[in-house]
């Protein structure tokens, strides 16, 4: 498949579109209407403003929107050619325009896909072969009982997504296998993990698309040295496997070809947990549960591709975000899961959203000066979040829309706990919406603060797939409307380049070829402080 067809079109700034201007007028017309008023005028508002798909429900009734708002937002989406961009992504057109790549994490989940060509090559046989290799390997590891610990060494998308899934699906994991995640190049992360394992019964998975990522490879080499010292021999082939595109570098590290699991150019890092990057949690939960995760994801993929925009859950979630960001003026988004097993979901969502849509130029390289793009994502599990930053959410000067997420069933029920948890989740959305009048100004809550409530039947592999892919597609939709490429991350690179220059200045032997850094007074002073500690 070639370049995105839309790439050849001259595109107006989204603010110049009639649909955007119409939304501005509409926003002005309801600017004095509160969310409680909307409920007063329509007591059955929930029926109009909720959508369900199998085990997932999105309640967006506590937003300051009307049916007209949704109609006009859908008109905007069509004016931005959303449906065409969506179809092109699924078909393997290069919608990652800045890097001239297809974006096909959706193909990994499509069990009905017969063939799909990328660069004149059918990728479906490769996907099936990779999954078969994962299935055989995970089944063998779980059956043999040779390893009681798995340590995933990665960073970014090779850590946050898999770590989140491993924690979320802990009730489905083999109790005899504990999975650890090491990402920080701070040696404390690896060394503290190493203290908790039995080296002879530990499998390391090096997850790096390029197998050159500085933090990951530094940790990988140190882990290899620690293992050699602990075991008294170089046993890389027995205790290390890799998920990578760079087979040559993995083999140089000492990993045999049978223990190298492929990933591809057309899978971006923060969308890669569906591939062999998810090998760590696949070992923990078993390939059958991994397949159920894929099945839930595929159900949401089909819904996203086929449902009309007005009925489309990821599209509606995205458009509500556009409304809050660009018309209501909200700068942040709270992701608040009321489920301890979703502890790492806010971190995963920070990367997914902020790395995708934290951009200030269009996909054509034009500076964005007249509208805002991706929000600042923050979050924590409820009820801890209530005792951390909800003071600001309820009474602060910034309006922070929130997504409240909970499961109807608990994976670990104990008398009284789950109802208290869910009562708090529902109460927070109600309190944000209704507010409170009081004679004491310190106890006044302004109310009319927006939130979504996302309900899943239970946190199992299938429903987790539904939930995660809903957010993936939401972010894609917002990128299309903001006219940015959601699939590159050049903002990650500059700091890495400068870090290599500073390492050169510090005398690091691995950076002999790096150019010296440009010395402003602060940088020079900080480098000298570090040098003195040697």
419 in the same domain as 469 = yes
325 in the same domain as 277 = no
Residue 6 confidence (pLDDT): 44
227 in the same domain as 139 = yes
105 within a domain of the structure (yes/no): no
pLDDT single digits (tens) 444-456: 999 999 999 999 9
Residue 533 confidence (pLDDT): 87
Residue 509 confidence (pLDDT): 66
Q: Which of 469, 488, 507 is the last residue of a domain?
A: 488
Rounded to two decimals, the pTM is: 0.95
398 within a domain of the structure (yes/no): yes
496 in the same domain as 482 = no
230 in the same domain as 154 = yes
441 within a domain of the structure (yes/no): yes
Residue 519 confidence (pLDDT): 82
Q: How do beta strands 56-59 and 451-458 pair?
A: antiparallel
Total domain count, the chain: 3
> Which residue, among 410, 129, 68, 352, has the nearest Cα to 262 in the 3D structure?
129
476 in the same domain as 401 = yes
User: The CATH number of the domain where 70 resides is what?
Assistant: 3.40.50.10490
Measure the CA dihedral 469/471/473/474, to 10°: 160
Residue 10 confidence (pLDDT): 55
Q: Which of 244, 259, 291 is the last residue of a domain?
A: 291
Mean pLDDT by 10 residues, the chain (534 residues): 49 92 98 97 96 97 98 98 98 96 97 95 97 98 96 97 98 97 98 97 97 95 96 88 97 95 95 97 98 98 98 98 98 98 98 97 96 98 97 98 98 96 98 97 97 98 98 98 96 87 81 68 91 85
Selecting among 167, 215, 249, 355, the annotated active-site residue is 355
Residue 500 confidence (pLDDT): 86
Structure token pair of residue 297 = 């994801």
Residue ranges of the alpha helices (H) in 323-457? 345-350, 356-357, 390-395, 417-434
* Residue 374, Cβ density class (10 Å: 0-12 exposed, 13-18 middle, ≥19 buried): buried
Q: How many CA atoms lie within 13 A of 41 on its CB side?
A: 12
361 in the same domain as 425 = yes
435 in the same domain as 329 = yes
329 within a domain of the structure (yes/no): yes
Residue 534 confidence (pLDDT): 76
Nearest 5°: the CA angle 249, 250, 252 is: 60
211 in the same domain as 85 = no
328 within a domain of the structure (yes/no): yes
The yes-or-no answer on residue 215 being catalytic is no
Strand partners, 207: 243
86 in the same domain as 158 = no
270 in the same domain as 146 = yes
* Residue 25, Cβ density class (10 Å: 0-12 exposed, 13-18 middle, ≥19 buried): exposed
148 in the same domain as 48 = no
299 within a domain of the structure (yes/no): no
* Residue 147, Cβ density class (10 Å: 0-12 exposed, 13-18 middle, ≥19 buried): buried
Per the structure, the complete domain to which residue 428 belongs is given by: 5-93+307-488
325 within a domain of the structure (yes/no): yes
Selecting among 221, 225, 496, 531, the annotated active-site residue is 496
32 within a domain of the structure (yes/no): yes
The yes-or-no answer on residue 355 being catalytic is yes
The yes-or-no answer on residue 72 being catalytic is no
Strand partners, 118: 121
Selecting among 146, 229, 252, 387, the annotated active-site residue is 387
Residue 496 confidence (pLDDT): 85
């Amino acid at each position: 498949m070639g370049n995105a067809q839309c790439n050849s079109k001259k595109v107006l700034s989204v603010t110049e579109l009639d649909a955007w201007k119409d939304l501005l007028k509409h926003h002005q017309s309801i600017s004095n209407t509160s969310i409680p008023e909307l409920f007063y005028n329509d007591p059955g508002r929930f029926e109009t403003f909720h959508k369900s798909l199998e085990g997932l429900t999105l309640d967006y009734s506590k937003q300051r929107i009307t049916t007209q708002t949704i109609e006009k937002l859908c008109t905007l989406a069509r004016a931005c050619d959303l449906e065409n961009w969506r179809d092109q992504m699924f078909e393997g057109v290069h919608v990652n325009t800045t890097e001239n790549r297809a974006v096909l994490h959706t193909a990994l989940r499509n069990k009905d896909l017969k063939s799909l060509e990328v660069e004149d090559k059918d990728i479906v046989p490769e996907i099936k072969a990779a999954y078969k290799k994962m299935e055989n390997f995970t089944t063998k590891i779980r059956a043999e009982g040779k390893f009681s610990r798995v340590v995933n060494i990665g960073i970014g998308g090779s850590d946050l997504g898999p770590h989140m899934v491993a924690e979320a699906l802990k009730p489905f994991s083999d109790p005899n296998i504990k999975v650890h995640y090491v990402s920080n190049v701070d040696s404390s992360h690896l060394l503290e993990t190493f203290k908790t394992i039995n080296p002879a019964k530990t499998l390391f998975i090096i997850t790096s698309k390029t197998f050159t990522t500085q933090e990951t490879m530094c940790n990988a080499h140190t882990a290899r040295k620690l293992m050699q010292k602990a075991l008294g021999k170089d046993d890389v082939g027995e205790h290390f496997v890799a998920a990578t595109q760079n087979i040559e570098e993995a083999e140089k590290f000492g990993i045999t070809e049978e223990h190298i699991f492929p990933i591809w150019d057309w899978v971006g890092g923060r969308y890669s947990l569906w591939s062999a990057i998810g090998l760590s949690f696949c070992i923990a939960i078993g390939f059958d549960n991994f397949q159920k995760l894929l099945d839930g994801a595929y159900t949401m993929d089909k819904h996203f591709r086929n449902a009309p925009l007005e009925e489309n859950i990821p599209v509606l979630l995205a458009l509500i975000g556009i409304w809050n960001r660009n018309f209501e003026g909200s700068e942040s988004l709270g992701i608040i899961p009321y489920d301890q097993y979703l502890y790492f979901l806010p971190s995963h969502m920070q990367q997914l959203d902020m790395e995708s849509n934290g951009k200030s130029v269009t996909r054509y390289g034009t500076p964005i000066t007249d509208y805002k793009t991706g929000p600042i994502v923050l979050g924590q599990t409820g009820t801890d979040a209530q005792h951390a930053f909800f003071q600001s959410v309820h009474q602060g000067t910034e309006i922070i829309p929130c997504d409240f997420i909970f499961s109807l069933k608990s994976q670990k029920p104990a008398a009284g706990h789950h109802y208290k948890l869910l009562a708090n989740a529902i109460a927070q959305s109600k309190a944000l919406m209704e507010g409170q009048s009081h004679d004491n100004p310190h106890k006044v809550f302004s109310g009319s603060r927006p939130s979504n409530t996302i309900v899943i039947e239970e946190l199992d592999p299938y429903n987790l797939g539904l939930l995660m892919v809903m957010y993936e597609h939401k972010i894609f939709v917002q990128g299309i409307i903001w006219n940015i490429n959601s699939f590159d991350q050049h903002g990650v690179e500059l700091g890495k380049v400068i870090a290599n220059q500073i390492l050169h200045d510090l005398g690091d032997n691995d950076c002999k070829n790096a150019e010296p850094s440009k010395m402003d007074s602060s940088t020079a002073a900080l480098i000298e402080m570090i040098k003195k500690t040697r």
